[in-house]
Each structure stands twice: as structure tokens, then as C-alpha cells.
Structure 1
């Protein structure tokens, strides 16, 4: 029995070690498809955070947290009279949710939304620590963090485990609403 248990443990350890090594390399540009897939272990120019590091920043209130999880669109062909309710997004308390800003290519309005959100979150301080996340194995946060670096933000951190890692660590998540877009109720003036 000990031998069988040892073989199972060894096989599990090998599988975990192998999958950890099979991280894809950083692409030169943005990820354009298959956003829910293994992500690189690195992001050039950004600090990569483990959950304990993200928690320490959050507890110390030493950075702003930006959630880029996409928002599910309302289906276009709902029968008349159907009530549509957005799926709630649970994120890290105090985060600014800027949905749909992690795609590989952004419409000009979405890019403007991301830029304006960052200015609000950091009070215009491009040296402020910006922690970008989504879910585990989600390229949205990698793309968004890479894009934020191109805006001149000098202190960008990427938290690749996102809300999945936060929840696995037993840390609380809270229901949130997206930051309003320009022209929406509650949106700050231009």
C-alpha cells in the first residue's frame, strides 16, 4: 500500500511540476484570442504578484486594484418582455472594475474608458502602484497590464491568480459594479 501511495504522490507531483513548467512564453504583442488559457509566468516591465504579495499590498492600501474581467453582454435576441439581470461580479474589495479592457484590441472608446479609469483610480499619479487582475489563467489581465505600461505607468503589478487565487486563500470577495463609462449615470465629467 505504501508503494502505491508513493507512486500516486510522485505522479501527482510530476504532473504539477510539469504543468507549472509549461507556461507559455510572453508574446511580443497582445493575446488576441483564447483568453482563458495558461498565461506566462512573467510580464516584461511589470511585477508579478503571488496571492500573499497582493494581499499585503491590499491590506497596506499601498496600491490601487483594477479588475478587468469582461462583463457578459445582454443577448441581442431576448424575447420582448424578458427580464435581463447582469451576472454579479465578485472582486477584491476596493477594486475599480473596468470591464472589457483586457482584450487584445480595444475600440477607441474602450481604450479611453481604461485611461480615464486609471486616472481616477490613481488621482493622475503615474507612479502609483497599479495592481491588475481578472481570474486565474485569463489573458485579459496580462493584456491590460501590458497596455497600462504603454500609457506611462511606472509601477504596474500583475496578479495572475486574480479572484480565483484570492478566494482559494480564503480572502473575501465583494459584489461590485463596473465603473460608469462616459455618458452613463454616475460617470465623472470629462
Structure 2
């Protein structure tokens, strides 16, 4: 019985994980299975991410930044939780949502231009967490902005660690 259940799960895994690439940016829920493709970008796995990192390709982390919770009583001390990322990555927080406010759009555009050093064909790796649409959205936006060297890393932080990547480090968010 257990063997049959395990076999069924193994056989259903890849079929269940097939997610079509949408024609628009994805909204809630952001933590959900993602497509295996991103038109205009190269999809990479953990081993490829480690190789590109070793070659000095810039990595862009688009995971959202935690903000002070609404409704905390006045005088309550709140400290922003630490965010860990791939060593050397630039944290372009809040740039992977379905719709971006002008400040987030500007942060993404500025971050892409700085990372690419003005070369829209320069290789860039965009990631966040595994099964997170934030990185898919941000990478799709980068392609729409004319960046042709985009590498989307859907495995994100978990994929990096599982592939044997360097330990994560504390991230510093880029200026608003």
C-alpha cells in the first residue's frame, strides 16, 4: 500500500508541477508552483546559478521587505527581520509584485541598469524563493524593459542551498 502511494506521488509529481506560462504578471498567491519557462529569459537550476555566480554574474534578489505590521500599539518596538541572501546579491525589494508602484518600478529599473552596467545584453540572475512568482514577475519585467541576458533562477534561496551554494549572508536593501 505505502509503495503504491509513493509510486503514485512520484508519477504525479512532474505532471502536477506543470504550470503554463501566463500572458500577464502573476498576483496572489505568490508562493505557488511556477512555470518551467519564461519567454525571453534563460531558466537556470542551482548548479548553473553557482557557476554563473563564480563567473561574477550579478544576482538580483527581489524578495519583498518586511514592514512594520499595521495596528501595533504606539511605543511598541519593532525591528525589521533580517533577510538572508546569496553572497553579493543586490536586494531589489518589492520589485516582483503583479503591479508595481512608481517607486518600485524605478527601483527595479535603476537596479537592472546598475547591475548590467548599462549593457542590456549583460547576463543577470533574478531570484527570490523557490516556487515564488515574485522572481518570475521581475524577470519578465526585465525582459520587457529590453534586457536580453536575463537568467531566471526559480529555485531561489532554497535551490541555491540544495545545490551546495555558499552560505547565505545578511542582505542590505537598496535605497528606496
Name the TM-score, length of structure 1 as normaliser. Answer: 0.86
**Structure 2 unaligned blocks of 5 or more:** none
For 1:13 and 1:134, the matched residues in 2 are separated by 31
For the aligned residue pairs, the C-alpha RMSD in angstroms reads: 1.5
SS in 1 for 2:125: strand
For 1:71 and 1:177, the matched residues in 2 are separated by 10
Partner of 1:137: 131
For 1:115 and 1:139, the matched residues in 2 are separated by 19
Partner of 2:15: 21
Change (3 A) 1:87 1:57: same
Change (3 A) 1:17 1:58: farther
Partner of 1:104: 98
Change (3 A) 1:98 1:16: farther
Q: How many residues align?
A: 174
For 1:136 and 1:17, the matched residues in 2 are separated by 21
Change (3 A) 1:155 1:164: same
- Residue 94 of structure 1: which of 68, 74, 88 is its match? 88
Bigger shift: residues 72-81 or 151-160: 72-81
For 2:79 and 2:26, the matched residues in 1 are separated by 30
Summarize the alignment of residues 31-180 of structure 1 with structure 2, pairs less than 5 Å apart: 31-61=26-56, 63-171=57-165, 172-180=167-175
Change (3 A) 1:125 1:90: same
Q: CA deviation at 1:19?
A: 2.2
Change (3 A) 1:59 1:17: farther
**Structure 1 unaligned blocks of 5 or more:** 182-190
Q: CA deviation at 1:108?
A: 1.4
Instruction: Give the greater-gyration-radius structure (CA).
Output: 1
Name the TM-score, length of structure 2 as normaliser. Answer: 0.93
For 1:133 and 1:14, the matched residues in 2 are separated by 31
SS in 1 for 2:111: helix
Runs of 4+ in structure 1 off by over 3 angstroms are none
Paired residues of 2:92 and 2:173 also in contact (CA < 8 A): yes
Paired residues of 2:127 and 2:156 also in contact (CA < 8 A): yes
